[in-house]
Amino acid sequence: MTTPIGVLGAGSFGTCLAILAAQENDVTLWVRDPDDAEAMRSSGYNPKYLKDVPLPENLKVTSDIAESVRDKEIIICAVPSHGIRQVLEKAAPDLHPDAIVVSTIKGIESGSCKLMHEVFADCLSPAQNARLVVLSGPSFAREVAEKRPTLVTVACQEENYAIAVQSTLSCPWFRCYSQTDVLGVELGGALKNVVAIAVGIGDGLGLGANARAALMTRGLAEITRLGMHMGADPRTFLGLAGMGDLVLTCTGDLSRNRHVGLMLGKGQSLEEVLAGMSQVAEGVRTAESAWELSQRVGVDMPIVEMVRSVILGECSAAEAVRHLMSRQLKSESE
């Protein structure tokens, strides 16, 4: 029996998940721009993202957000973090009260410093919010679309809903693991993007493999420190949504956030880097929000702080490295 599924967002990840889900289910993909939706319907491809991957014939594409969510049992949200609140407010009136909502969004809201599950709580009913499932892990969209083996985590406070999503999306090349630590999964997914910018900066400066390994390790320590302070399970940061996603985003050639750092390390301005990109690098916005969050809760995150400073133009990439290397010596457990 098929499951009616709506996917909000036709970027690379939303498109690949829509293709994945449409193997066995009735899927409707919402595209913001009507012209883009028409181009996808007429061509059978997404001309902006994954343009060489054919869309299944049973995948319906629409620019009508109400149509994409009405009477759907599962709603997958795959829009950038800065746009999700507006999208949810438009979609909420037509969401079925028993729908399971899945967030694939890896970011922290600017200004409020809210994690994505907190933004969803603002926009959904209490019953819908109880069914919120967070999907995260090492998963480049192109490799998912090409049916390469991919493992992710799906988390919900009521694990039965995570298991329902796990059962629906898992297939021979896409394997989901369920758990309940929504907070930890979200923090791992959001903050690894900032660390990936740091690693990219180091690679752009030619600092070498030792520095890359150090930044990844100490970056994971910062993520874990903040997560534990906020009540997350430290084991989450050793799993797919933590170390797994961190390793992929810091080392993979398809990583947009590593690319941003790489170009910054090579001397380009942030404006020049972003002008040459067609997709969102969430770590650019998250660096500011993560730093503000760390200040609010009183957790030291020097790598996040230095990435923020480089992005804002407060210091050069080389100066940021010198600052990190000259900090007061301390125990590794700190």
Catalytic residues: 192
Can you give the three-state secondary structure of the chain, one letter per residue? CCCEEEEECCCHHHHHHHHHHCCCCEEEEECCCHHHHHHHHHHCCCCCCCCCCCCCCCEEEECCHHHHHCCCCEEEECCCHHHHHHHHHHHHHHCCCCCEEEECCCCECCCCCCEHHHHHHHHCCHHHHHCCEEEECCCCHHHHHCCCCEEEEEECCCHHHHHHHHHHHCECCEEEEEECCHHHHHHHHHHHHHHHHHHHHHHHCCCCHHHHHHHHHHHHHHHHHHHHHHCCCHHHHHCHHHHHHHHHHHHCCCCHHHHHHHHHHCCCCHHHHHHCCCCCCHHHHHHHHHHHHHHHHCCCCHHHHHHHHHHHCCCCHHHHHHHHHCCCCCCCCC
Amino acid letter, 1? M
Are residues 23 and 91 in contact, defined by beta-carbon separation less than 8 angstroms? no
CA gap 191, 126 in Å, rounded: 27
CA gap 106, 97 in Å, rounded: 25
